[in-house]
Amino acid sequence: MKLEEKALTTNRCDCCISPTRSSHRDSDLSGPPAENAAPASDFWKRIPLRDMDRHQWEALCDGCGKCCLFKVEDAATAQVFYTNVVCRLFDQDSCRCGAYDERSELVPNCVTLSMETLSIPSWLPATCAYRLLDEGRELPSWHPLVSGTPDTVLSSGNSICGRAVGETEADDLEHHLIDWVT
């Protein structure tokens, strides 16, 4: 099996998110979602992804950090494999991008999550709210919008915090393949 580093690496689900490329300017996405700007309860059940406003869209991110992990792709099958190697900008203590405002300049291959990028869902983890809702599925019980607390992401084992290696510390990605993210 020949593995190639997947070009679709990112700094975090909410690092570059935008419902559509044309509906929000970059300046509208200049910072991480406000912790206290909670959208209306159960909005994700009523509002299609394409119709969500910026705060609703950003609230979908559970903060797991899985999308910040480097991926490799089997060149023959296009199957994506996760590694435990995380982007150099990822702050493992806060489980957030450490350079949120400059992330796109510092990491040019940081993917902007949008309705367009959801058309290739294989690079997103199977537990990602954007992917789940796009596929017509429910959010898991540990998702902060369902549980009411971000603590359930970590307590359920769905956070990468404490489980990742920084890209500057890692060697060959093939030595860092994991099976705890799908």
Tell me: the pLDDT tens digits for 151-172?
Answer: 999 999 999 999 999 999 999 9
Q: How many CB atoms lie within 10 A of CB 147?
A: 17
| Lowest mean pLDDT, pick from 10-24, 50-64, 123-137 | 10-24
User: Cα–Cα distance between 22 and 124 in angstroms, integer?
Assistant: 22
For the stretch 154-168, what's the b/e string if a residue is b when 16 or more beta carbons lie within 10 angstroms of its beta carbon?
Answer: bebebbbbeebbebe
User: Cα–Cα distance between 66 and 157 in angstroms, integer?
Assistant: 11
- DSSP alpha helix (H) spans, the chain: 43-46, 54-59, 103-106, 129-134, 144-147, 151-155
Domain boundaries of the chain, sorted by first residue: 3-176
Q: What is the pTM of this model?
A: 0.76
Query: What would the pLDDT profile of 17-56 be if each residue is shown by its tens digit?
Result: 333 322 332 323 333 444 444 556 899 999 999 999 989 9
Among 119, 171, 4, 123, smallest CA distance to 73 is for 4
For every residue of 52-63, DSSP letters joined together read: --HHHHHHT---
> What pLDDT, on the 0 to 100 scale, is given for residue 38?
53
For the stretch 55-73, what's the b/e string if a residue is b when 16 or more beta carbons lie within 10 angstroms of its beta carbon?
Answer: ebbbbbbbbbbbbbbbbbb
Q: How confident is the model at residue 119 (pLDDT cuts 50, 70, 90)?
A: confident
Distances (CA, A) of 138 to 63, 119, 127, 144: 17, 18, 10, 13
Phi-psi region of 63 (alpha: psi -120 to 50; beta: other; left: phi over 0): left
Residue 140 has pLDDT above 90, yes or no: yes
3-state DSSP assignment of residue 80 = strand
User: Cα–Cα distance between 127 and 132 in angstroms, integer?
Assistant: 7
